[in-house]
Structure 1
Amino acid sequence: MSTDPLTEAFEAQRERLRAVAYRMLGSHADAEDVVQEAWLRLSRQDAASINNVAGWLTTVVGRISLDVLRSRRAHPELSYDDLVVTVDDGPEPEDDAVLADSVGLALLVVLDSLGPGERLAYVLHDMFAVPFDEIGKILGRSTDAAKMLASRARKKVQGTERPAGTVREQREVVRAFMAATRRGDFEGLLRVLDPDVRLTVDTPGGVVVTIGATEVAGRSSRAPGTAAAAMFREVLVNGLPGFVSWRADRTPISVLAFTVVGDRIAGIDLLTDPGKLAAMDLPDPA
Protein backbone atom coordinates (compact mmCIF):
# COMPACT_ATOMS: atom_id res chain seq x y z
CA MET A 1 0.00 0.00 0.00
CA SER A 2 1.62 3.24 -1.18
CA THR A 3 1.60 6.41 0.88
CA ASP A 4 0.81 9.80 -0.61
CA PRO A 5 4.08 11.71 -1.26
CA LEU A 6 2.82 14.82 0.54
CA THR A 7 1.90 12.74 3.59
CA GLU A 8 5.36 11.18 3.63
CA ALA A 9 6.99 14.59 3.26
CA PHE A 10 4.90 16.03 6.07
CA GLU A 11 5.59 13.16 8.47
CA ALA A 12 9.32 13.54 7.79
CA GLN A 13 9.07 17.18 8.88
CA ARG A 14 6.54 16.84 11.72
CA GLU A 15 8.98 16.85 14.66
CA ARG A 16 10.95 19.76 13.26
CA LEU A 17 7.76 21.75 12.64
CA ARG A 18 6.56 21.03 16.16
CA ALA A 19 9.90 22.27 17.52
CA VAL A 20 9.65 25.47 15.48
CA ALA A 21 6.11 26.14 16.65
CA TYR A 22 6.94 25.40 20.29
CA ARG A 23 9.88 27.84 20.29
CA MET A 24 7.60 30.41 18.68
CA LEU A 25 4.68 29.92 21.06
CA GLY A 26 6.00 28.32 24.26
CA SER A 27 3.05 25.91 24.48
CA HIS A 28 3.03 22.29 23.39
CA ALA A 29 -0.74 22.35 22.82
CA ASP A 30 -0.57 25.50 20.67
CA ALA A 31 2.38 24.07 18.75
CA GLU A 32 0.44 20.91 18.01
CA ASP A 33 -2.53 22.97 16.77
CA VAL A 34 -0.25 24.96 14.46
CA VAL A 35 1.33 21.82 13.01
CA GLN A 36 -2.10 20.28 12.43
CA GLU A 37 -3.26 23.43 10.65
CA ALA A 38 -0.13 23.29 8.48
CA TRP A 39 -1.01 19.73 7.52
CA LEU A 40 -4.56 20.73 6.57
CA ARG A 41 -3.22 23.47 4.33
CA LEU A 42 -0.69 21.10 2.76
CA SER A 43 -3.35 18.48 2.11
CA ARG A 44 -5.25 21.00 -0.01
CA GLN A 45 -2.23 21.70 -2.22
CA ASP A 46 -1.19 20.18 -5.51
CA ALA A 47 2.09 18.39 -4.88
CA ALA A 48 3.41 19.54 -8.25
CA SER A 49 3.03 23.18 -7.18
CA ILE A 50 5.48 22.85 -4.26
CA ASN A 51 9.17 22.66 -5.10
CA ASN A 52 10.45 22.48 -1.52
CA VAL A 53 7.96 20.91 0.88
CA ALA A 54 10.15 21.46 3.96
CA GLY A 55 10.57 25.13 3.17
CA TRP A 56 6.88 25.53 2.32
CA LEU A 57 5.85 23.94 5.62
CA THR A 58 8.30 26.06 7.62
CA THR A 59 6.87 29.19 6.01
CA VAL A 60 3.30 28.13 6.78
CA VAL A 61 4.12 27.25 10.40
CA GLY A 62 5.92 30.58 10.76
CA ARG A 63 2.96 32.55 9.40
CA ILE A 64 0.42 30.72 11.55
CA SER A 65 2.58 31.15 14.65
CA LEU A 66 3.01 34.84 13.86
CA ASP A 67 -0.77 35.24 13.70
CA VAL A 68 -1.10 33.50 17.09
CA LEU A 69 1.54 35.77 18.65
CA ARG A 70 -0.16 38.89 17.31
CA SER A 71 -3.50 37.67 18.62
CA ARG A 72 -1.94 37.11 22.05
CA ARG A 73 -0.69 40.69 22.08
CA ALA A 74 -4.21 41.91 21.41
CA HIS A 75 -5.84 39.43 23.83
CA PRO A 76 -3.28 38.16 26.38
CA GLU A 77 -4.05 34.82 27.96
CA LEU A 78 -2.01 32.35 29.97
CA SER A 79 -1.81 28.71 28.98
CA TYR A 80 -1.70 26.11 31.75
CA ASP A 81 -1.90 23.03 29.58
CA ASP A 82 1.71 22.10 30.49
CA LEU A 83 1.73 23.30 34.12
CA VAL A 84 2.51 20.44 36.51
CA VAL A 85 2.57 21.15 40.27
CA THR A 86 4.23 18.58 42.54
CA VAL A 87 5.26 18.46 46.18
CA ASP A 88 8.73 19.86 46.82
CA ASP A 89 9.99 17.37 49.40
CA GLY A 90 13.67 17.37 48.45
CA PRO A 91 16.37 16.41 48.18
CA GLU A 92 16.33 18.41 44.99
CA PRO A 93 17.57 17.02 41.66
CA GLU A 94 20.73 18.73 40.50
CA ASP A 95 21.59 16.88 37.32
CA ASP A 96 22.27 18.37 33.92
CA ALA A 97 18.75 17.66 32.64
CA VAL A 98 17.13 19.79 35.35
CA LEU A 99 19.54 22.66 34.72
CA ALA A 100 18.91 22.42 30.99
CA ASP A 101 15.16 22.60 31.58
CA SER A 102 15.68 25.66 33.77
CA VAL A 103 17.67 27.45 31.10
CA GLY A 104 15.01 26.50 28.55
CA LEU A 105 12.26 28.04 30.67
CA ALA A 106 14.34 31.17 31.16
CA LEU A 107 14.74 31.47 27.41
CA LEU A 108 10.98 31.13 26.89
CA VAL A 109 10.41 33.96 29.37
CA VAL A 110 12.77 36.19 27.37
CA LEU A 111 11.18 35.13 24.09
CA ASP A 112 7.79 36.12 25.50
CA SER A 113 9.11 39.65 25.96
CA LEU A 114 9.97 39.97 22.25
CA GLY A 115 7.66 41.44 19.68
CA PRO A 116 6.10 38.90 17.29
CA GLY A 117 8.41 39.88 14.42
CA GLU A 118 11.51 39.78 16.62
CA ARG A 119 10.58 36.39 17.98
CA LEU A 120 9.93 34.90 14.56
CA ALA A 121 13.15 36.29 13.08
CA TYR A 122 15.26 35.06 16.01
CA VAL A 123 13.67 31.61 16.29
CA LEU A 124 13.68 30.83 12.58
CA HIS A 125 17.16 32.15 11.85
CA ASP A 126 19.19 31.54 15.00
CA MET A 127 17.54 28.26 16.05
CA PHE A 128 16.51 26.71 12.74
CA ALA A 129 18.83 28.36 10.17
CA VAL A 130 16.07 29.74 7.96
CA PRO A 131 17.56 32.34 5.56
CA PHE A 132 16.66 35.98 6.19
CA ASP A 133 15.15 36.42 2.74
CA GLU A 134 12.58 33.72 3.53
CA ILE A 135 11.92 35.24 6.95
CA GLY A 136 11.39 38.61 5.29
CA LYS A 137 8.74 37.09 3.02
CA ILE A 138 6.88 35.64 6.02
CA LEU A 139 6.94 39.02 7.75
CA GLY A 140 6.19 41.02 4.62
CA ARG A 141 9.45 42.92 5.23
CA SER A 142 12.79 43.28 3.46
CA THR A 143 15.72 40.96 4.09
CA ASP A 144 17.58 43.76 5.88
CA ALA A 145 14.56 44.44 8.10
CA ALA A 146 14.43 40.76 9.05
CA LYS A 147 18.14 40.87 9.94
CA MET A 148 17.53 43.93 12.11
CA LEU A 149 14.67 42.24 13.96
CA ALA A 150 16.81 39.18 14.67
CA SER A 151 19.69 41.37 15.85
CA ARG A 152 17.46 43.24 18.30
CA ALA A 153 16.05 39.96 19.59
CA ARG A 154 19.53 38.47 19.95
CA LYS A 155 20.62 41.33 22.23
CA LYS A 156 17.59 40.76 24.46
CA VAL A 157 18.21 37.03 24.61
CA GLN A 158 21.89 37.36 25.57
CA GLY A 159 22.46 36.09 29.09
CA THR A 160 19.71 33.45 29.23
CA GLU A 161 22.26 30.72 28.55
CA ARG A 162 24.04 31.46 31.81
CA PRO A 163 23.87 28.59 34.31
CA ALA A 164 20.60 28.98 36.19
CA GLY A 165 22.05 27.47 39.36
CA THR A 166 20.97 24.34 41.17
CA VAL A 167 17.38 23.89 42.23
CA ARG A 168 18.49 24.59 45.82
CA GLU A 169 20.04 27.91 44.76
CA GLN A 170 16.96 28.85 42.78
CA ARG A 171 14.75 27.99 45.73
CA GLU A 172 16.74 30.33 47.96
CA VAL A 173 16.15 33.18 45.52
CA VAL A 174 12.42 32.40 45.47
CA ARG A 175 12.30 32.20 49.29
CA ALA A 176 13.96 35.61 49.49
CA PHE A 177 11.33 36.99 47.14
CA MET A 178 8.48 35.54 49.19
CA ALA A 179 9.94 36.85 52.45
CA ALA A 180 10.36 40.34 51.00
CA THR A 181 6.81 40.19 49.62
CA ARG A 182 5.33 39.37 53.03
CA ARG A 183 7.31 42.17 54.67
CA GLY A 184 6.46 44.66 51.96
CA ASP A 185 10.23 45.13 51.54
CA PHE A 186 10.54 47.05 48.27
CA GLU A 187 14.35 47.18 48.30
CA GLY A 188 14.54 43.49 49.17
CA LEU A 189 12.35 42.69 46.16
CA LEU A 190 14.55 44.75 43.84
CA ARG A 191 17.60 42.75 44.97
CA VAL A 192 16.14 39.46 43.69
CA LEU A 193 14.31 40.69 40.57
CA ASP A 194 15.88 40.89 37.12
CA PRO A 195 15.61 44.45 35.73
CA ASP A 196 13.40 43.13 32.90
CA VAL A 197 11.39 40.67 35.01
CA ARG A 198 7.95 39.81 33.61
CA LEU A 199 5.01 39.27 35.98
CA THR A 200 1.91 37.67 34.45
CA VAL A 201 -1.17 37.53 36.66
CA ASP A 202 -4.18 35.47 35.59
CA THR A 203 -7.26 36.70 37.46
CA PRO A 204 -11.00 36.06 36.97
CA GLY A 205 -11.14 39.43 35.22
CA GLY A 206 -8.37 38.66 32.74
CA VAL A 207 -4.61 38.59 32.35
CA VAL A 208 -2.44 41.47 33.55
CA VAL A 209 1.21 41.69 32.47
CA THR A 210 3.77 43.88 34.25
CA ILE A 211 7.37 44.26 33.06
CA GLY A 212 10.29 45.76 34.96
CA ALA A 213 11.73 45.29 38.45
CA THR A 214 10.41 48.55 39.88
CA GLU A 215 6.89 47.94 38.64
CA VAL A 216 6.85 44.27 39.68
CA ALA A 217 8.26 45.07 43.13
CA GLY A 218 5.52 47.62 43.59
CA ARG A 219 2.80 45.13 42.67
CA SER A 220 4.26 42.14 44.50
CA SER A 221 3.68 43.47 48.01
CA ARG A 222 0.01 43.77 47.05
CA ALA A 223 -0.21 40.47 45.14
CA PRO A 224 -3.66 38.84 45.31
CA GLY A 225 -3.83 36.24 48.05
CA THR A 226 -0.71 37.31 49.96
CA ALA A 227 -2.58 38.82 52.90
CA ALA A 228 -5.50 36.39 52.80
CA ALA A 229 -3.40 33.22 52.69
CA ALA A 230 -3.49 31.07 55.82
CA MET A 231 -1.13 28.44 54.41
CA PHE A 232 1.75 28.38 51.95
CA ARG A 233 3.54 25.33 50.60
CA GLU A 234 6.71 25.08 48.59
CA VAL A 235 6.09 23.14 45.38
CA LEU A 236 7.81 22.37 42.12
CA VAL A 237 6.12 23.89 39.10
CA ASN A 238 7.34 22.01 36.04
CA GLY A 239 10.30 20.93 38.16
CA LEU A 240 11.26 24.43 39.33
CA PRO A 241 10.58 26.21 42.64
CA GLY A 242 7.13 27.67 43.24
CA PHE A 243 4.46 28.17 45.88
CA VAL A 244 0.79 27.34 46.41
CA SER A 245 -1.32 29.29 48.91
CA TRP A 246 -4.63 28.36 50.57
CA ARG A 247 -7.26 29.99 52.76
CA ALA A 248 -8.02 28.60 56.20
CA ASP A 249 -10.79 26.45 54.70
CA ARG A 250 -8.16 24.86 52.38
CA THR A 251 -9.50 26.59 49.29
CA PRO A 252 -6.56 27.37 46.96
CA ILE A 253 -5.83 31.05 46.46
CA SER A 254 -2.92 31.04 44.06
CA VAL A 255 -0.11 29.21 42.32
CA LEU A 256 3.16 31.07 41.87
CA ALA A 257 5.63 29.83 39.26
CA PHE A 258 9.13 31.32 39.02
CA THR A 259 11.84 31.34 36.40
CA VAL A 260 15.26 32.11 37.89
CA VAL A 261 18.24 33.14 35.75
CA GLY A 262 21.53 33.38 37.61
CA ASP A 263 20.63 34.84 41.00
CA ARG A 264 17.63 36.89 39.81
CA ILE A 265 14.00 36.13 39.08
CA ALA A 266 13.33 36.68 35.38
CA GLY A 267 9.69 35.58 35.21
CA ILE A 268 6.74 35.12 37.56
CA ASP A 269 3.40 33.56 36.65
CA LEU A 270 0.69 34.10 39.25
CA LEU A 271 -2.55 32.16 38.81
CA THR A 272 -5.47 33.36 40.95
CA ASP A 273 -8.45 32.40 38.79
CA PRO A 274 -10.59 30.11 41.03
CA GLY A 275 -11.94 28.13 38.10
CA LYS A 276 -8.49 27.29 36.77
CA LEU A 277 -7.17 26.55 40.25
CA ALA A 278 -10.06 24.15 40.85
CA ALA A 279 -9.25 22.31 37.63
CA MET A 280 -5.61 21.77 38.57
CA ASP A 281 -4.22 18.74 40.39
CA LEU A 282 -2.74 20.57 43.38
CA PRO A 283 -1.12 18.99 46.45
CA ASP A 284 -2.79 19.29 49.85
CA PRO A 285 -1.62 21.98 52.28
CA ALA A 286 1.32 20.80 54.39
Structure 2
Amino acid sequence: MAESPSISEFEAHRPRLTALATRVLGSHSDAEDAVQEAWLRWERHSSESIDNLGGWLTRVVGRICLDMLRRRTARGESSLDAWVDEAIVNEDELTPEQSATLSDLLGPAMLIVLDSLCPEERFAFVLHDMFSVPFAEIAAVIGSSEAAAKMAASRARRKVKDAPSPSGELAQRRAVVDAFLTAARNSDFDALLHILDPSLTWHRTTARGHMVQMGANEVLTAIRRGDPDRIEIRKVNVNGEPGLLVLTPSGRRLGFMACTVADGRMVGIVSITSRKQLERLRLPRQ
Protein backbone atom coordinates (compact mmCIF):
# COMPACT_ATOMS: atom_id res chain seq x y z
CA MET A 1 0.00 0.00 0.00
CA ALA A 2 1.35 3.44 -0.92
CA GLU A 3 2.20 5.91 1.83
CA SER A 4 -0.76 8.10 2.68
CA PRO A 5 -0.45 11.78 1.71
CA SER A 6 0.58 14.32 4.33
CA ILE A 7 -1.28 17.40 5.52
CA SER A 8 1.16 19.59 3.61
CA GLU A 9 0.19 17.80 0.40
CA PHE A 10 -3.48 18.58 1.00
CA GLU A 11 -2.65 22.22 1.76
CA ALA A 12 -0.74 22.45 -1.50
CA HIS A 13 -4.02 21.75 -3.31
CA ARG A 14 -6.18 24.03 -1.14
CA PRO A 15 -5.80 27.26 -3.21
CA ARG A 16 -6.94 25.58 -6.43
CA LEU A 17 -9.77 23.73 -4.69
CA THR A 18 -10.98 26.95 -3.07
CA ALA A 19 -10.81 28.81 -6.39
CA LEU A 20 -12.77 26.05 -8.11
CA ALA A 21 -15.43 25.90 -5.42
CA THR A 22 -15.74 29.71 -5.37
CA ARG A 23 -16.37 29.83 -9.10
CA VAL A 24 -18.92 27.02 -8.93
CA LEU A 25 -20.79 28.35 -5.89
CA GLY A 26 -20.25 32.10 -6.26
CA SER A 27 -19.44 32.41 -2.58
CA HIS A 28 -16.04 32.39 -0.89
CA SER A 29 -17.45 31.31 2.47
CA ASP A 30 -19.43 28.45 0.91
CA ALA A 31 -16.30 27.44 -1.00
CA GLU A 32 -14.29 27.28 2.21
CA ASP A 33 -17.00 25.07 3.74
CA ALA A 34 -16.83 22.75 0.72
CA VAL A 35 -13.04 22.47 0.92
CA GLN A 36 -13.22 21.84 4.66
CA GLU A 37 -15.69 19.03 4.05
CA ALA A 38 -13.28 17.61 1.48
CA TRP A 39 -10.56 17.75 4.13
CA LEU A 40 -12.72 15.70 6.51
CA ARG A 41 -13.40 13.11 3.80
CA TRP A 42 -9.70 12.99 2.96
CA GLU A 43 -8.91 12.32 6.63
CA ARG A 44 -11.25 9.33 6.57
CA HIS A 45 -9.48 8.00 3.45
CA SER A 46 -5.93 9.02 4.34
CA SER A 47 -5.05 5.49 5.38
CA GLU A 48 -5.89 4.26 1.89
CA SER A 49 -3.83 4.61 -1.25
CA ILE A 50 -4.66 7.65 -3.39
CA ASP A 51 -2.58 7.59 -6.55
CA ASN A 52 -3.58 11.07 -7.76
CA LEU A 53 -4.45 13.28 -4.80
CA GLY A 54 -5.19 16.34 -6.95
CA GLY A 55 -7.66 14.48 -9.14
CA TRP A 56 -9.27 12.74 -6.16
CA LEU A 57 -9.75 16.04 -4.29
CA THR A 58 -11.14 17.75 -7.40
CA ARG A 59 -13.79 15.04 -7.71
CA VAL A 60 -14.63 15.18 -4.01
CA VAL A 61 -14.93 18.99 -3.94
CA GLY A 62 -16.91 18.80 -7.18
CA ARG A 63 -19.44 16.38 -5.69
CA ILE A 64 -19.81 18.53 -2.58
CA CYS A 65 -20.34 21.69 -4.68
CA LEU A 66 -22.84 19.97 -6.94
CA ASP A 67 -24.84 18.78 -3.94
CA MET A 68 -24.81 22.34 -2.55
CA LEU A 69 -26.04 23.74 -5.87
CA ARG A 70 -28.85 21.18 -6.00
CA ARG A 71 -29.95 22.04 -2.45
CA ARG A 72 -29.89 25.74 -3.32
CA THR A 73 -32.03 25.14 -6.38
CA ALA A 74 -34.51 23.07 -4.38
CA ARG A 75 -34.82 25.89 -1.82
CA GLY A 76 -35.11 28.59 -4.48
CA GLU A 77 -31.96 30.37 -3.32
CA SER A 78 -29.67 32.38 -5.59
CA SER A 79 -25.95 33.05 -5.79
CA LEU A 80 -26.74 36.76 -5.65
CA ASP A 81 -27.84 36.33 -2.03
CA ALA A 82 -24.38 35.09 -1.11
CA TRP A 83 -22.77 37.79 -3.25
CA VAL A 84 -24.66 40.50 -1.35
CA ASP A 85 -23.46 39.11 1.96
CA GLU A 86 -19.82 39.03 0.83
CA ALA A 87 -19.65 42.17 -1.34
CA ILE A 88 -17.04 44.70 -0.25
CA VAL A 89 -18.48 48.18 -0.80
CA ASN A 90 -16.11 51.05 -0.09
CA GLU A 91 -14.93 54.42 -1.34
CA ASP A 92 -11.27 53.49 -1.60
CA GLU A 93 -9.15 50.98 -3.47
CA LEU A 94 -9.14 47.43 -2.21
CA THR A 95 -6.44 46.33 0.18
CA PRO A 96 -4.19 43.47 -0.98
CA GLU A 97 -5.99 41.18 1.46
CA GLN A 98 -9.40 42.13 0.06
CA SER A 99 -8.19 41.71 -3.50
CA ALA A 100 -6.93 38.22 -2.70
CA THR A 101 -10.27 37.25 -1.18
CA LEU A 102 -12.22 38.53 -4.18
CA SER A 103 -9.92 37.31 -6.93
CA ASP A 104 -12.00 34.19 -7.61
CA LEU A 105 -15.44 35.74 -7.17
CA LEU A 106 -17.55 36.31 -10.28
CA GLY A 107 -19.43 39.53 -10.90
CA PRO A 108 -23.16 39.79 -10.10
CA ALA A 109 -24.20 39.77 -13.78
CA MET A 110 -22.34 36.51 -14.38
CA LEU A 111 -23.79 34.97 -11.22
CA ILE A 112 -27.31 35.82 -12.36
CA VAL A 113 -26.65 34.08 -15.68
CA LEU A 114 -25.16 31.06 -13.91
CA ASP A 115 -28.21 30.90 -11.66
CA SER A 116 -30.34 30.50 -14.79
CA LEU A 117 -28.56 27.20 -15.51
CA CYS A 118 -29.40 23.87 -13.98
CA PRO A 119 -26.77 22.69 -11.45
CA GLU A 120 -25.29 20.14 -13.88
CA GLU A 121 -24.88 22.74 -16.67
CA ARG A 122 -23.28 25.23 -14.33
CA PHE A 123 -20.96 22.62 -12.86
CA ALA A 124 -19.87 21.26 -16.25
CA PHE A 125 -19.24 24.73 -17.66
CA VAL A 126 -17.18 26.01 -14.72
CA LEU A 127 -15.07 22.89 -14.33
CA HIS A 128 -14.32 22.45 -18.02
CA ASP A 129 -14.13 26.02 -19.34
CA MET A 130 -12.52 27.63 -16.30
CA PHE A 131 -10.44 24.78 -14.86
CA SER A 132 -9.87 22.45 -17.83
CA VAL A 133 -11.23 19.41 -16.01
CA PRO A 134 -11.77 16.59 -18.57
CA PHE A 135 -15.37 15.79 -19.46
CA ALA A 136 -14.85 12.16 -18.45
CA GLU A 137 -14.21 13.29 -14.85
CA ILE A 138 -17.10 15.76 -14.94
CA ALA A 139 -19.44 13.02 -16.18
CA ALA A 140 -18.43 10.77 -13.29
CA VAL A 141 -19.39 13.49 -10.80
CA ILE A 142 -22.73 14.49 -12.31
CA GLY A 143 -23.69 10.90 -13.06
CA SER A 144 -23.99 11.15 -16.83
CA SER A 145 -22.21 10.05 -19.98
CA GLU A 146 -19.26 12.04 -21.28
CA ALA A 147 -21.36 13.16 -24.25
CA ALA A 148 -24.09 14.43 -21.92
CA ALA A 149 -21.51 16.37 -19.89
CA LYS A 150 -20.24 18.01 -23.08
CA MET A 151 -23.78 18.96 -24.03
CA ALA A 152 -24.43 20.45 -20.59
CA ALA A 153 -21.32 22.64 -20.87
CA SER A 154 -22.27 23.65 -24.40
CA ARG A 155 -25.75 24.75 -23.33
CA ALA A 156 -24.25 26.78 -20.50
CA ARG A 157 -21.64 28.33 -22.80
CA ARG A 158 -24.33 29.65 -25.16
CA LYS A 159 -26.11 31.39 -22.29
CA VAL A 160 -22.94 32.73 -20.64
CA LYS A 161 -21.35 34.22 -23.77
CA ASP A 162 -23.75 37.17 -23.75
CA ALA A 163 -23.17 38.08 -20.09
CA PRO A 164 -21.60 41.57 -19.93
CA SER A 165 -17.98 41.64 -18.77
CA PRO A 166 -15.78 44.68 -18.04
CA SER A 167 -12.89 45.80 -20.22
CA GLY A 168 -10.39 48.64 -20.07
CA GLU A 169 -8.55 50.16 -17.13
CA LEU A 170 -10.42 50.56 -13.85
CA ALA A 171 -9.90 54.35 -13.91
CA GLN A 172 -11.55 54.47 -17.33
CA ARG A 173 -14.48 52.37 -16.15
CA ARG A 174 -14.90 54.64 -13.12
CA ALA A 175 -14.86 57.70 -15.37
CA VAL A 176 -17.70 56.28 -17.48
CA VAL A 177 -19.85 55.62 -14.41
CA ASP A 178 -19.07 59.11 -13.07
CA ALA A 179 -20.11 60.59 -16.42
CA PHE A 180 -23.33 58.55 -16.26
CA LEU A 181 -24.08 59.93 -12.80
CA THR A 182 -23.44 63.53 -13.90
CA ALA A 183 -25.61 63.17 -17.00
CA ALA A 184 -28.42 61.56 -14.98
CA ARG A 185 -28.35 64.35 -12.39
CA ASN A 186 -28.53 66.97 -15.15
CA SER A 187 -31.12 65.06 -17.19
CA ASP A 188 -28.70 65.26 -20.09
CA PHE A 189 -30.22 62.54 -22.25
CA ASP A 190 -27.99 63.19 -25.23
CA ALA A 191 -24.95 62.46 -23.03
CA LEU A 192 -26.66 59.39 -21.58
CA LEU A 193 -27.24 57.98 -25.05
CA HIS A 194 -23.49 58.18 -25.69
CA ILE A 195 -22.69 56.50 -22.36
CA LEU A 196 -25.27 53.70 -22.39
CA ASP A 197 -24.74 50.84 -24.82
CA PRO A 198 -27.87 50.29 -26.95
CA SER A 199 -27.88 46.60 -25.98
CA LEU A 200 -27.32 47.24 -22.26
CA THR A 201 -28.57 44.50 -19.94
CA TRP A 202 -30.28 45.70 -16.77
CA HIS A 203 -30.88 43.13 -14.04
CA ARG A 204 -33.23 44.42 -11.34
CA THR A 205 -33.71 42.74 -7.98
CA THR A 206 -36.72 44.14 -6.16
CA ALA A 207 -38.98 43.06 -3.31
CA ARG A 208 -41.11 41.32 -5.98
CA GLY A 209 -38.21 39.30 -7.35
CA HIS A 210 -35.76 39.47 -10.22
CA MET A 211 -36.37 40.86 -13.70
CA VAL A 212 -34.17 41.65 -16.69
CA GLN A 213 -34.62 44.47 -19.18
CA MET A 214 -32.68 45.09 -22.36
CA GLY A 215 -31.67 48.35 -23.99
CA ALA A 216 -30.73 51.88 -22.98
CA ASN A 217 -34.30 53.18 -23.27
CA GLU A 218 -35.36 51.32 -20.12
CA VAL A 219 -32.70 53.15 -18.11
CA LEU A 220 -33.60 56.50 -19.68
CA THR A 221 -37.26 55.97 -18.76
CA ALA A 222 -36.35 55.28 -15.14
CA ILE A 223 -34.20 58.42 -14.98
CA ARG A 224 -37.01 60.55 -16.42
CA ARG A 225 -39.34 59.30 -13.69
CA GLY A 226 -36.86 59.98 -10.89
CA ASP A 227 -36.60 63.06 -8.69
CA PRO A 228 -32.89 63.87 -8.13
CA ASP A 229 -33.77 66.44 -5.46
CA ARG A 230 -35.17 63.75 -3.17
CA ILE A 231 -32.21 61.37 -3.24
CA GLU A 232 -28.49 61.33 -2.55
CA ILE A 233 -26.19 59.23 -4.75
CA ARG A 234 -22.77 58.15 -3.51
CA LYS A 235 -20.02 56.85 -5.74
CA VAL A 236 -18.67 53.57 -4.36
CA ASN A 237 -16.52 50.65 -5.37
CA VAL A 238 -18.15 47.22 -5.37
CA ASN A 239 -15.56 44.48 -5.08
CA GLY A 240 -13.21 46.91 -6.78
CA GLU A 241 -15.61 47.75 -9.63
CA PRO A 242 -17.49 51.08 -9.97
CA GLY A 243 -20.93 51.30 -8.44
CA LEU A 244 -23.51 53.72 -7.08
CA LEU A 245 -25.43 53.82 -3.82
CA VAL A 246 -28.80 55.62 -3.65
CA LEU A 247 -29.92 57.03 -0.29
CA THR A 248 -32.58 59.31 1.12
CA PRO A 249 -31.31 62.64 2.52
CA SER A 250 -31.59 61.03 5.96
CA GLY A 251 -29.32 58.15 4.93
CA ARG A 252 -31.85 55.34 4.41
CA ARG A 253 -30.83 52.93 1.69
CA LEU A 254 -32.98 53.05 -1.43
CA GLY A 255 -30.95 51.28 -4.06
CA PHE A 256 -27.60 49.97 -5.12
CA MET A 257 -26.07 49.62 -8.58
CA ALA A 258 -23.14 47.51 -9.73
CA CYS A 259 -22.07 48.75 -13.17
CA THR A 260 -20.26 46.96 -15.97
CA VAL A 261 -18.29 49.09 -18.44
CA ALA A 262 -16.73 47.78 -21.65
CA ASP A 263 -15.15 49.72 -24.51
CA GLY A 264 -15.98 53.03 -22.88
CA ARG A 265 -19.73 52.40 -22.53
CA MET A 266 -21.98 51.03 -19.84
CA VAL A 267 -23.05 47.56 -20.98
CA GLY A 268 -24.57 46.13 -17.81
CA ILE A 269 -26.28 47.20 -14.60
CA VAL A 270 -27.28 45.06 -11.65
CA SER A 271 -29.54 47.10 -9.38
CA ILE A 272 -30.87 46.07 -5.99
CA THR A 273 -33.84 47.82 -4.39
CA SER A 274 -34.98 44.92 -2.21
CA ARG A 275 -34.92 46.25 1.36
CA LYS A 276 -33.99 42.82 2.69
CA GLN A 277 -30.89 42.60 0.51
CA LEU A 278 -29.94 46.26 0.90
CA GLU A 279 -29.85 45.91 4.67
CA ARG A 280 -27.41 43.01 4.35
CA LEU A 281 -24.88 45.06 2.37
CA ARG A 282 -21.88 46.12 4.40
CA LEU A 283 -21.43 49.78 3.54
CA PRO A 284 -18.67 52.27 4.36
CA ARG A 285 -19.31 54.63 7.22
CA GLN A 286 -20.53 58.06 6.25
TM-score range, shorter chain: 0.7 to 0.9
Q: 2:283 aligns with which of 260, 264, 281?
A: 281
TM-score (norm 2): 0.72
Amino acid in structure 1 at the alignment position of 2:275: D
Q: Provide, for residues 13-41 of structure 1, a one-character-per-residue CA deviation record: whole Å limited to 9, x for no partner.
A: 11110011111122211211111111122
The answer on whether the counterparts of 1:193 and 1:213 sit within 8 Å (CA) in structure 2 is no
Name the count of aligned residue pairs.
Answer: 268
CA distance change for structure 1 residues 126 and 47 in 2, over 3 Å: closer, same or farther?
farther
> Following the alignment from structure 1 to structure 2, what is the Cα–Cα distance between the partners of residues 136 and 190?
46
**Equivalents in 2 of 1:230, 1:81: separation in Å?**
24
Matched, 1:83 2:87: yes
Give SS of 2:141's match. helix
In the alignment, structure 1 residue 133 sits paired with structure 2 residue 136: yes
* CA drift at 1:75: 2.0
Q: For residue 266 of structure 1, what is the amino acid of its counterpart?
A: G
2:32 aligned partner: 32
Shift, 1:180, TM fit = 5.7
Match of 2:53 in 1: 53
Q: Distance in 2 between matches of 1:110 and 1:141?
A: 26
Contact 2:22 2:105 in 1 (8 A): no
Specify whether residues 149 and 279 from structure 1 end up closer, same or farther in structure 2 by C-alpha distance, changes over 3 A only: closer
Aligned to 2:257: 256
Q: Give the alignment of 1:201-216 within 5 angstroms.
A: 201=205, 208-213=209-214
Q: Is the Cα contact below 8 Å between 2:257 and 2:271 reproduced in 1?
A: yes
1:272/1:162 CA distance change after superposition, 3 Å: closer
CA deviations over 1:55-81 (Å, ceiling 9, x no partner): 221112112222333344422351234
Query: Residue 6 of structure 1 contacts residue 47 of structure 1 at CA under 8 Å; is this kept in 2?
Result: no
Deviation at 1:121, TM superposition (A): 1.5
Rounded Cα–Cα distance in structure 1 between residues aligned with 2:278 and 2:124: 33
Which residue does 1:237 correspond to in 2?
Answer: 238
* Matching residue's letter, 2:240: G
Q: Which residue of 1 is the match for residue 44 of structure 2?
A: 44
In structure 2, what is the Cα distance between the partners aligned to 1:64 and 1:22? 12
CA distance in 1, matches of 2:185, 2:122: 32
- Contact kept in structure 2, 1:103 and 1:162, CA below 8 Å: no
Cα distance change, pair 103–78 in 1 and its aligned pair in 2 (3 A): closer
Give the 3-state SS of the residue equivalent to 2:45 in structure 1: coil
Gaps of 5+ in 2: none
Partner Cα distance (2:228, 2:165) in 1: 35
Quote the offset at 1:83 in angstroms.
1.7
Unaligned runs of 5+ in 1: none
Q: Which residue of 2 aligns with 1:124?
A: 127
Residues 123-156 of structure 1 deviation map (CA, whole Å, 9 limit, x = unaligned): 2122222111110111112101111222333344
* Cα separation, partners in 2 of 1:82 and 1:197, compared to 1, 3 Å: same
**Deviating 4+ runs (over 6 angstroms):** 101-104, 159-163, 188-191, 225-228
The alignment status of 1:68 with 2:64, answered yes or no, reads no
User: How many Å separate the matches in 2 of 1:70 and 1:194?
Assistant: 36
For 1:159 and 1:16, the matched residues in 2 are separated by 27
- Confirm or deny: 8 A CA contact 2:23 2:105 kept in the other structure: no
Contact 1:196–1:211 (CA<8 Å) still a contact in 2?
A: no
